[in-house]
């Protein structure tokens, strides 16, 4: 069976880029000529997918934006999965995490219903609770570690023995990576945390959000490359809403091409 890490590397090689484009359908920002509601959002995102799929390694729909549309949002998410070519990774940003029994159903919903190739999860209930996700050996599971939002440091940098909490998360994820399908989420706004994580778990793939609207630097890719690591660099709003006019799709393509190596 092909491992998730192998699939990830293949997708990056195919695109010639580690870019991952976030699909966050904000009703206030979707160009008006696509229409309104879930139907308009779906039309917009379908055009984004068609225009960008050869240029990016992954798409990352954030479930919060789809949930806000109600039942139509979940239907939109399922339809977009069908519209997305199978060569592109479908990384569902759900940030799920509960007790093991509940996670069984989260995993079923995300992998079986939504068709995720990978998901994001949070580790607060412990690594054993996340086993229902990582037992899907062909799927990727990215664990929140050092996130890009400023207030995260108040918790994630608390001391746990001789380590910061985020470093302990990285260590435990590394130790739990028995199926070779775990990864870490580290914000591009946290280059020092990234350097530490790369020392603790250099072989784990990374999801790097925070570039673009959040102010993170794409230069962190040089850190990852120097450590021999593998990463997806996520960009969302700066690409998706590069323009709100008739040229919005072309503007999105231009933004991706600017960021591509």
For residue 212, pLDDT beyond 70: no
Per-residue HEC secondary structure of the chain comes to CCCHHHHHHHHHHHHCCCEEEEECCCCCCCCHHHCCHHHHHHHHHHHHHHHHCCCCCEEEEEHHHHHCCCHHHHHHHHHHHHHCCCCCEEEEEEEECCCHHHHHHHHHHHHHHCCCCEEEECCCCCCHHHHHHHCCCCCEEEEEEECCCHHHHHHHCCEECCEEHHHHHHHHHHHHCCCCCEEEEECCCCHHHHHHHHHHCCCCCEEECCEHHHCECCCHHHHHHHCCCCEEEEECHHHHCCCCCCCHHHHHHHHHHHHCC
Section 12-28 average pLDDT: 97
pLDDT for res 210: 72
For residue 215, pLDDT beyond 90: no
Average pLDDT, the chain: 95
pLDDT for res 217: 67
For the chain, give every domain's residue range. Answer: 4-259
The pTM assigned to this predicted structure is: 0.96
pLDDT digits (tens, 9 = 90+) for 54-76: 999 999 999 999 999 999 999 99
Better-scored residue on pLDDT, 49 or 214: 49
Section 226-233 average pLDDT: 93
Catalytic-labelled residue, pool 29, 32, 43, 95: 95
Decide if 9 is catalytic. no
**4-259 falls under which CATH superfamily?**
Aldolase class I (3.20.20.70)
For residue 213, pLDDT beyond 80: no
For residue 106, pLDDT beyond 80: yes
Sign of the dihedral through C-alpha 74, 78, 84, 89: positive
pLDDT digits (tens, 9 = 90+) for 81-96: 999 999 999 999 999 9
């Amino acid at each position: 069976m092909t491992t998730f890490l192998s699939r990830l590397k293949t997708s990056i090689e195919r695109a010639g880029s580690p870019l991952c484009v976030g699909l966050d359908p904000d009703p206030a920002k979707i160009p008006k000529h696509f229409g309104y509601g879930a139907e308009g959002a779906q039309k917009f995102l379908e055009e984004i997918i068609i225009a960008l799929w050869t240029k990016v390694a992954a798409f990352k729909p954030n479930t919060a934006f789809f949930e806000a549309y109600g039942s139509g949002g979940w239907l939109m998410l399922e339809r977009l999965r069908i519209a997305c070519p199978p060569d592109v990774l479908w990384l569902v940003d759900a940030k799920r995490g509960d007790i093991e029994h509940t996670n069984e159903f989260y995993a079923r919903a995300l992998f079986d219903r939504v068709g995720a190739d990978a998901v994001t999860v949070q580790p607060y209930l412990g690594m054993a609770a996340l086993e229902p996700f990582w037992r899907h050996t062909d799927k990727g599971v990215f664990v929140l570690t050092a996130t890009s939002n400023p207030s995260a440091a108040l918790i994630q940098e608390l001391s746990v023995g001789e380590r910061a909490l985020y470093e302990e998360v990285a260590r435990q994820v590394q130790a739990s990576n028995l199926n070779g399908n775990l990864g870490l989420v580290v914000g591009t706004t946290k280059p020092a945390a990234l350097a530490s994580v790369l020392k603790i778990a250099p072989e784990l793939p990374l999801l790097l959000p925070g570039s673009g609207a959040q102010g993170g630097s794409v230069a962190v890719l040089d850190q990852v490359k120097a450590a021999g690591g593998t990463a997806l660099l996520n960009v969302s709003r700066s690409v998706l809403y590069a323009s709100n006019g008739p040229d919005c799709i072309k503007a999105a393509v231009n933004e991706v091409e600017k960021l591509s190596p």
